[in-house]
Amino acid sequence: MTSPARTVVDLACYESFEAAVCAGDAASLHYSDLAAAVERSGQRAGIARARRVAAFVDGRSESVGESRSRVYFDRFDVPAPDLQVEIVVDGKTYRVDFLWDGVVGEFDGLTKYAGDQGSDAVVREKLREDALRAAGYVVIRWTWADLADGRLARRVLAALAVG
């Protein structure tokens, strides 16, 4: 059995950058010594990718969708956002998944909109988004399907160019 950090290094050496980042983000919530695990791995095959993964991992990503979004933004040269930022509007605090200069990004995995509580979640999200927009933020939402091509990146870059 290996440590979580060693497991992430092994994944990074043999799997895709995206898969390793997703595992690394999740593992970093519980184990933070990924850089040391990379160094202990020596010069094995794939170690350069493992170093890149270790530098990229961020435990503030709260879901696989957020981790995949970060990899997507990196792939399309979108500036790295701040993660899990709290924004106070009219005395109410909203925590957003991603924040660039004046642009809020929200990954929607859609599970919170399912079931009996789904309509309540939609109303809460709408009110939250209205408050952020009224405070001057541009809000961009996306789902899994939006990570398939460059259109989301163009939307974010266009919003950043305006702001």
Any domain includes 69:
no
Any domain includes 66:
no
Nearest to 16 by CA among 76, 71, 78, 81: 71
Its domain, for residue 89, covers 76-162
Q: What is the pTM assigned to this prediction?
A: 0.85
Mean pLDDT per 10-residue interval, the chain, length 163 residues: 83 90 84 73 81 89 96 97 97 97 91 63 89 96 96 97 79
Q: What pLDDT, on the 0 to 100 scale, is given for residue 118?
A: 58
pLDDT digits (tens, 9 = 90+) for 48-89: 888 888 889 998 999 999 999 999 999 999 999 999 999 999
Residues 47, 97 within the same domain:
no
Residue type, 35: A
Any domain includes 54:
yes
Q: What pLDDT, on the 0 to 100 scale, is given for residue 127?
A: 92
102-107-110-113 Cα dihedral, nearest 10 degrees: -30
Distance CA 122, CA 117 (A): 9
Per-residue b or e along 71-90, where b marks 16 or more CB atoms closer than 10 Å to that residue's CB: bbbbeeebeebebeeeeebe
Residues 50, 115 within the same domain:
no
Residues 19, 53 within the same domain:
yes
Residues 129, 53 within the same domain:
no
Any domain includes 106:
yes
Residues 84, 18 within the same domain:
no
Residues 86, 30 within the same domain:
no
Any domain includes 143:
yes
* Number of separate domains in the chain: 2
What is the CATH number for 120?
3.40.960
